[in-house]
Structure 1
């Protein structure tokens, strides 16, 4: 994982921390960071900089931050940090271009048709309830965006193994046959 990629993940995590969650992490860091320094920290970025300076955080040393995130019940962010390393370690972790195009079409159709039952599909695809809740919190009133985010997360998890056939099978298992039919029709007419 390059330094730039690692810092981008840290920035994303920082942006997703609420003020209360940041305070909780600071409380947990009392043995690592002096009180005076803790008082000056008002963003996740500042905290991550100090942890890096102390040798507690780095691209090859994420365990401390992962544990802190788990302690404040942000398993989704801890997973993001762990998953990013495993994805960036492999350059061949994406489906081929043909399958990517099919998945993009399927994502478009599903997001247009899924509606309020998006969580059921997410569970069928193997996403955790924590991940589903995180998606909901980011897009509480936008059903299409929730569906798009759900499918992005599934694609990240599956990597090169992501297949449209798997999506169609999950849709049918959830009794979303009309949506599955629409995906198949759009793929056949492209």
Structure 2
């Protein structure tokens, strides 16, 4: 089963009717009134948020804000456990993409619309991102990257992102992404090598068995 869907099911099961009403009220800024009227459970609300790219396994900030507003520390602990597990489960390619998102979000700035269009994010989505994160360039960039990743799925790769950055003349940012990727690869190789060396050292220190 998908661990994220299991998490959402557990959170939904733990919500009271009054807490669900509070969450619906808090979600008015990102969910239309008509959709909220059809929400009868936490799963209904989460389904809408998933459809609108407000929520996904790599984007749990909104869920955390909602649970914090309810002061449900027990449900927040479930989310903490999921986030910790997601980091350890993530494939190297996924970790590289997350790290690239951090770099791009920090350095692209006002050029994010040009980058988003080159990544084939629609103008309507770009407008919605601007409304959602007014005066917050970092989150505007990050959200546009999330939309691209959710749309492209397996085709959303670091190499593709770097190529688009260069096509947008954002070569400095592209260089930073590539340098970060190379540094992580070297670190990963170093950790693997030290692990192998440690095993070899342990084996050499172990007493040899004597045949009788």
Q: Which TM-score bucket, shorter chain as reference?
A: 0.5 to 0.7
Task: Flag structure 1 segments of 5+ consecutive residues without an equivalent.
Answer: 27-43, 53-57, 67-76, 85-95
Aligned length: 136
Structure-to-structure mapping, 1:73-84, within 5 angstroms: 80=52
Instruction: Please identify which structure carries the higher helix content.
Output: 2
Distance change in 2, residues 1:17/1:145 (3 Å)? same
Instruction: Measure, in 1, the Cα distance between the counterparts of 2:39 and 2:96.
Output: 39
* Structure-1 separation of matches of 2:124 and 2:9: 27
Larger Rg belongs to: 2
Change (3 A) 1:110 1:13: farther
Could you say which residue in structure 2 is the equivalent of 1:150? 144
**Offset at residue 117 of structure 1 (A):** 1.1
TM-score for the superposition, normalised by structure 1: 0.56
SS at match of 2:96: helix
Alignment partner, residue 48 of structure 1:
39
Q: 1:128 to 1:181 in 2, by over 3 A?
A: same
- What's the offset of the Cα at 1:128? 0.7
**CA RMSD of superposed structures (Å):** 3.9
Query: Which residue number in structure 2 is paired with residue 121 of structure 1?
Result: 115
Q: What displacement does 1:160 show?
A: 2.0
Q: Hey, what does 1:185 align to over in structure 2?
A: 179
List per-residue Cα deviations over 1:132-157 (Å, max 9, x = no partner): 11111111111111111111111111
Distance 1:16 1:144 in 2: 22
What TM-score, normalized by structure 2, do the two folds share? 0.51
CA–CA distance in 1 between the matches of 2:50 and 2:91? 30
Alignment of 1:1-150 (within 5 A): 4=9, 16-17=27-28, 22=33, 25=34, 44=36, 46-49=37-40, 80=52, 97-150=91-144
Give the distance between the partners of 1:119 and 1:186, measured in 2 at CA.
24
Once the two structures are TM-superposed, the CA of residue 18 in structure 1 deviates from its matched residue by: 5.2
Provide the rounded CA distance (Å) in 2 between the counterparts of 1:186 and 1:78.
Answer: 30
Shift of 1:80: 2.9
What displacement does 1:161 show? 2.1
